[in-house]
């Protein structure tokens, strides 16, 4: 009977150790995003879907776009990695005016979010390789509450997607300077 007790206590102790370790592992992963400031290069792999368009031949077009995709941190770090991206945009082309304005939300696996606006006319001249526009991070939720920053970005066109609907794909590299206050 003593042996059974020792075995039973050992099982209970093992369960407690496992529970403590399981509680600590998310904390260790969280520590990677506990930095309050940084510069992060990441790419968003987007699919763009035209929702509605106004096209006046010879005068111009305006198209509402929805973009969805996922992010990839180019340094292999946790910040801005494996987040879902969802954007709404307006693409305008009229005469020599051609631009896209919009807003995006990135969400991580915990459901915490980062919100930004973007403008393709706002180009950071100090980063000539990021010549497509700039995101302005305006805030976040959860661990990103109080985040602000700028994200100059580039546009890398991908082959046209097969099938109807006018869907397009694009990789968008970002070079993000961010801070959580």
Query: Residue 57's CB: how many other CB atoms inside 10 A?
Result: 6
CA 3 to chain centre: 55
Residue 75 structure tokens: 């340094």
**Residue 33: is its pLDDT beyond 80?**
no
| 133 within 8 A of 120, measured Cβ to Cβ | yes
Beta strand 37-56 with 60-73 is antiparallel
87-105 pLDDT tens trace: 999 999 999 999 999 999 9
pLDDT in tens, 34-85: 689 999 999 999 999 999 999 999 999 999 999 999 999 999 999 999 999 9
The domain 37-180 is classified under which CATH number: 1.10.357, 2.40.480, 1.10.3470, 1.10.10? Answer: 2.40.480
- Answer whether 136's CB lies under 8 Å from 172's CB: no
Q: Is the pLDDT of residue 140 over 90?
A: yes
Lowest mean pLDDT of 3-7, 69-73, 110-114, name the range. 3-7
Query: How far, in Å, CA of 176 to CA of 58, rounded?
Result: 38
d(CA 46, CA 58): 29
Whole-number Å distance between alpha carbons of 130 and 114: 21
Mean pLDDT of 12-21: 36
pLDDT for residue 170: 96
Q: What is the mean pLDDT of the chain?
A: 85
Domain spans in the chain, listed from the N-terminal domain onward: 1-32, 37-180
What is the model's pLDDT at position 35? 86
Answer yes or no: are the C-beta atoms of 118 and 150 closer than 8 Å. no
């Amino acid at each position: 009977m003593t042996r059974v007790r020792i075995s039973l206590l050992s099982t209970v102790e093992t369960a407690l150790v496992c529970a403590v370790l399981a509680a600590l592992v998310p904390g260790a992963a969280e520590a990677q995003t506990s930095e309050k400031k940084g510069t992060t290069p990441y790419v968003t792999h987007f699919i763009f879907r035209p929702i509605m368009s106004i096209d006046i031949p010879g005068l111009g077009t305006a198209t509402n776009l929805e973009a969805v995709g996922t992010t990839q941190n180019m340094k292999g770090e946790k910040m801005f990695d494996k987040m879902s991206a969802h954007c709404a945009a307006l693409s305008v082309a009229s005469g020599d005016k051609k631009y896209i304005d919009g807003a995006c939300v990135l969400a991580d696996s915990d459901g915490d979010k980062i919100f930004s606006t973007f403008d393709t006319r706002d180009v950071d001249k100090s980063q000539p390789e990021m010549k497509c526009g700039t995101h302005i991070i305006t805030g976040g939720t959860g661990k990103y509450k109080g985040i602000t920053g700028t994200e100059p970005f580039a546009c890398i066109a991908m082959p046209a997607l097969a099938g109807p609907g006018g869907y397009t794909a694009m990789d968008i590299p970002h070079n993000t300077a961010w801070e959580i206050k």
